[in-house]
Amino acid sequence: MTVPKLWEVRGTKNISDSVYSARIPFRIPAGEGRFMERFVNTFMTVDRGVCLIDAGVAGSTGSILGMVRDTGREPGEVSALVLTHSHPDHIGGARAIQKATDCIVAAHQAERAWIEDTALQARERPIPGFSTLVEGPVQIDRLLADGDRIQIGGDRSLGVIHTPGHSPGSISLFLEDEGVLISGDALPVKGAIPVYDDPVASVRSIERLEGLAGVKILLSSWDSPKKGEEIKMALANGKEVIRALQAAVAKAVRKGPDLSDVTRRVVETLELPETALPVISRTVAGHLRAMDRRPP
């Protein structure tokens, strides 16, 4: 009998020599006692220091600090929590993690307002169950920009790549020496509900990731790790998801421009679940804005 490794028991996955991941399941209320089952992956680099990437939802702290302990390290060794962007399933546990580890919190400038003022985010992007997913605001200690480096130990560092579209300050992180690219939510996943603010910026960001040399493993918050040829496929599929939605919106808007009507028609055309409606309407609005920007 094979004895499973500790991290497999706990759900911590060893991705490469220094990168680990933990999968956090959660539910979004979808009305009348129904729920949308979701999950999000959080990541960690382990070298001389420990760096956490994303904080999951409220209540994820046990799983995330469990991932730290599974590798024989202590929560006190966590030096930084890097947030790929401000959405609830990425910042929900940030406050508790910051308290438990006394780490610095880093995120892109364009995500600052929604991380430091979660009530503002709940007003401006009111997703169902927001208050159950987010523990509260957290202060950002380091503002990140494209091209920045985050030290993970010795002379090793993560490169910051600004990949807007999903949100204005979404970032991807690249550990060049192991070829590990963490794309956060920058890449729409085939079969999942497409969520992004700006389809044009999203495609541009995916194309930028396609142009990166030396990517051996692609880690997305919503998908399983991709290797080799699967990486090209996942990036191409991300663009395909956006193109399909663009076509569905273009068709739906011919019958009338009302956002909720267009969204309903799009959900029907793409055969998405009804529970997708509140989440996808923002994505559809992004497509409508992008269409207005085009010359007649």
CB of 191 to Zn ion, least distance (A): 17
Does 108 bind Zn ion (CB under 5 A)? Our answer is no
SS3 call for 53: strand
Among 54, 135, 185, 198, binds Zn ion (CB under 5 A): 185
- Per-residue tokens: 129: 């169950």
Is the Cβ of residue 127 or residue 248 nearer to Zn ion in the bound state? 127
Residues that bind Zn ion (rule: CB under 5 A) add up to a total of 2
CB of 195 to Zn ion, least distance (A): 6
Is the Cβ of residue 87 or residue 226 nearer to Zn ion in the bound state? 87
Is the Cβ of residue 75 or residue 286 nearer to Zn ion in the bound state? 286
Residues 6+ apart with CB under 8 A from 175: 16, 18, 19, 45, 152, 156, 158, 159, 181, 182
How would you label 118-141 residue by residue, b for 16+ Cβ within 10 Å and e otherwise? beebbeeeebebbebbbbebbebe
Which x/- pattern, by CB under 5 A, does the window 129-168 give for Zn ion?
----------------------------------------
CB of 14 to Zn ion, least distance (A): 25
Residues 220, 215, 12, 161, Cα dihedral to 10°: -50
Place of tokens 């960001």: 205
Does 87 bind Zn ion (CB under 5 A)? Our answer is yes
Rounded Cα–Cα distance for residues 71 and 22 (Å): 12
By C-alpha distance, which of 24, 84, 74 is closest to 54? 84
Is the Cβ of residue 166 or residue 265 nearer to Zn ion in the bound state? 166
Nearest residue (beta carbon) to Zn ion: 87
Is the Cβ of residue 70 or residue 185 nearer to Zn ion in the bound state? 185
Q: Which residues contact Zn ion (rule: CB under 5 A)?
A: 87, 185
